Chain A
Amino acid sequence: MTGNRKSRLDRRTLLKGTSAAAIGIIGAPLIARGQAKPIKIGMPTILSGRVAQLGASSRNGVMLEVEKVNAAGGLAGRPIEMVIRDSKGAPQEAARVARELVNSDGCEILIDAEASSGAFAVHEVARDLKVLCLHTNSETSSLTADPKLRIPNAFRVARQGIHDSIVGGGYAAKIAEAKKLTKWMTCSPDYAYGRDTTAQFIEYLKHFKKDIEVVGEAWPKLFQPDYTEVVTKILQTKPQAMYSCLWGGDLTSFIDQGNIYALFTQIETFAVNMADYTALTVVKNLPKGIHSGNRYIKTFPKTAANAAWGDAYRAKYKEYPTNWAWQNATVIQFLAAAAKKVNSADGAKLAEALRGLTIESPFGTDGKLTLRAEDQTLVGYAIGWGTTIPAEPYVPETTAGDWKQITELEAEWKKKNNYT
């Protein structure tokens, strides 16, 4: 029985592969006729394993925009051809795939849609091969903040941990003031992103409200299936409020397991990664009133453009967009704008144009997004916090962060970390 099913699936995949190849062979000359040679963009990402959703939704985000750009004539007349490949989430594999994309597939630009550790590995490849590289999923601040790591040909088109922490700290401090929450606890995944983001959140929480006391910390492993010992530890510690940067399936497991201990009715919960449709729609019994940062949500920014983009995405892919989706859509929008500006698809010229570039975007706080010149990273994106409800629109109201304040505090943070 198993054998039968397997071989049938094999054949089906094969068929799918061949038909796709056939379209590629027939389709390519049609596009090429009378046009410049296509520009190949390589994209290493995670398409298998526990976070395969990251790759799937990044690919969707990119393809949605690539279609638009190609319909409008491509990058300076050259149609975009995406070469998207699975790194299985292993950094050495990400490095290998990135090199291969450039060296043997002839990709002139890399969109690095890896999670953090893979992103650092691809960053080294970009340093080595001097190819234009755009990180779209790594939120680890040091990737662009640390001048020792910085290279002129790498940009980050993604949100960033430090920004989230500043806005989160400010928002949480206001709630803490109103509800008199002084005893806090943290519960975050034990890896670089979790540790850094949590430390920064607490730092800014204390910055905005002095009398905060952290009474305990819990550090579940990344991808840990069972959170019972974590939940009971929190119950033992009895904090008034809790911060967590668990995400994806880990966050939903934690919520499902916390629910049966009635954890969230006793403790004011701030889960920065809650307001992502992937998590919101999966949790069956979403507790009311969990505070969360925005990941991607149709209601924030509350503009027609944003809602329309969310609907278009959903109509095309029959699923909700994610934070990864908007970031990867944005990278194509930036490339298109840069190519228009310099009328070229050359990597070095594009990099020059991208530095400091501002574009119109549904994802900007004021309808605009900027790749800040000094550290080549995305700023001005919609960032805010709100509370969740268990049904659409999930997060009815979001309090927007103030980019002026973010920029000031970020500058101080950089100075303190010797990042200047």
Chain B
Amino acid sequence: MRRSAVRDLLIGAVVLAALVLLPVLWPSKALIDFVIRGAALALFATSLNLLVGYGGLVSFGHGMFFGVGAYSFGLLMQRTGMPIPVAFVVTIVVTAAVALLVGAICVRLKEIYFAFLTLAFQMFLHSLIILWVPLTGGDQGLLGGIPRPPFFGIDLGDQRQLYIAACVLLVAGLLLMRHIVESPFGFTLRMIRDNAARTGFLGVEIFRIKLVAFVLAGVFAGIGGVIMSLFVSGAYPEFAYWTMSGEGIFMIMLGGITTFLGPTIGTVILLLLNDFVTRFTEHHGLMLGAIILLFALGLRRGITDFLVDHWRRTRTPAATRRGH
């Protein structure tokens, strides 16, 4: 356990160093933009997989926390003029509070009803954002840019510094989530996923575990939203729309839900698909649809799940055969 934590930290440090060095070796503004967006969405997708993959809680409304994160951060920066780190912390508190409230109602429900209820809450929140024009700007979103006063000598108005900040948040967020799923809490969560009734007999408070997972996932999604709001210098109702949740689901389904890094890889795949297919053809719906079908009907699972299965099968063919 300790050993694996140290290993994770080391991997994290190496990845972070590589990410920071990347634009030095390959100076491309497009690359910087890509990684910032990727960081925002990878945090979002991984946090969703905390629920779907580890908790067996299929949420259709996870985008709501991405939106809450983006809007609260953007509003705090525009309205209060507080320093960025303070606004960041307040945003986490706000997102956690919303997730606690919604989660307390939702996680009592089972399976698809949980999915429906999260979706309904998300759409309700989206209607509120659209309705509350004086605060949120309605359908126009938060206009006029999000101010980024420098703090500790860091200027997030500079895209390269924002890039580094996003990389730090991404790696730190992933490490924290990794720690969570490898902790006793994470194991309990998986036990509930596999057999809720039996876990209940062991005296585990299922409701509380699920709720904590829901709040944690919400917070990390919110951090993703903060990065995105800094990237586009605004917040839009689309962030809290069901399409956002849908995108999260596609990312984890493309990348794989049984490996920790699956969602991150899925994010990169979806972003690349989106960016390149739209460049290549105007009929990107047709292309993207065909590719999605290839995954769903061809691989029948996410790419990392497929690779892991494949690797296991080739390594221990006998064991697999016996298993059947």
Contacts and interface: CB of A to CB of B under 8 A. Distances in A.
A–B in direct contact per CB < 8 Å: yes
Interface of A: 6, 9-10, 13-14, 17, 47-48, 85-86, 88, 90-92, 95-97, 99-100, 103-104, 116-117, 120-121, 124, 127-128, 140, 148-149, 190-192, 195, 222
B205 interface: no
Contacts of B283: 9, 13
Contacts of B234: 91, 95, 120-121, 124
B233 A124 contact: yes
Nearest to B137: A192
A124 B281 CA distance: 27
B161 interface: no
Given A116-B140, A121-B234, A191-B139, A99 B284 contact: no
Interface string B138-156: 1111011100000000000
Contacts of B231: 95
B21 interface: no
B278 A86 contact: yes
30 contacts: A10-B290, A13-B283, A14-B281, A85-B279, A88-B278, A90-B243, A91-B141, A91-B232, A91-B234, A91-B238, A92-B228, A97-B278, A100-B275, A116-B140, A117-B236, A120-B141, A120-B234, A121-B232, A121-B234, A121-B236, A124-B145, A148-B144, A149-B143, A191-B138, A191-B139, A191-B140, A192-B133, A192-B139, A195-B133, A222-B139
Interface stretch (B25-33, B48-56, B112-120, B164-172): B25-33
A90 B279 contact: no
Interface in B120-145: 130, 133, 137-141, 143-145
Contacts of B28: 103-104
Nearest to A13: B283
Contact of A120 (B140, B284, B290): B140
A192 B286 contact: no
Contact of B285 (A48, A85, A127): A48
Nearest to B233: A124
A9 B233 CA distance: 39
Contact of A92 (B29, B239, B282): B239
B287 interface: yes
B201 interface: no
Contacts of B228: 92
A85 B278 contact: yes
Given A100-B33, A100-B275, A117 B141 contact: yes
A14 B290 CA distance: 13
B196 to A, nearest CB: 37
The 6 A-B pairs at the shortest CB distance, nearest first, are namely A104-B30, A103-B29, A191-B139, A95-B232, A192-B140, A124-B233
A6 B297 CA distance: 15
Contacts of A92: 228, 232, 236, 238-239
A95 B141 CA distance: 13
B66 to A, nearest CB: 11
Contacts of A148: 144
A47 B233 contact: no
Contacts of A17: 280-281
Nearest to B243: A90
Contacts of A86: 278, 282, 284
A90 B28 CA distance: 25
A360 B124 CA distance: 51
B29 A104 contact: yes
Given A17-B281, A120-B141, 4 more contacts: A48-B285, A92-B228, A120-B143, A124-B233
A128 B239 CA distance: 21
B37 interface: yes
Contacts of B290: 6, 10
Contacts of A10: 286-287, 290
A222 B130 CA distance: 12
B40 to A, nearest CB: 10
Contacts of B284: 48, 86
Nearest to A49: B285
Contacts of A149: 143-144
B238 A90 contact: yes
A13 B236 contact: no
A298 B144 CA distance: 37
B108 to A, nearest CB: 32
A8 to B, nearest CB: 11
Contact of A100 (B30, B145, B282): B30
A92 B232 CA distance: 6
Nearest to B30: A104
B25 to A, nearest CB: 17
Nearest to B290: A10
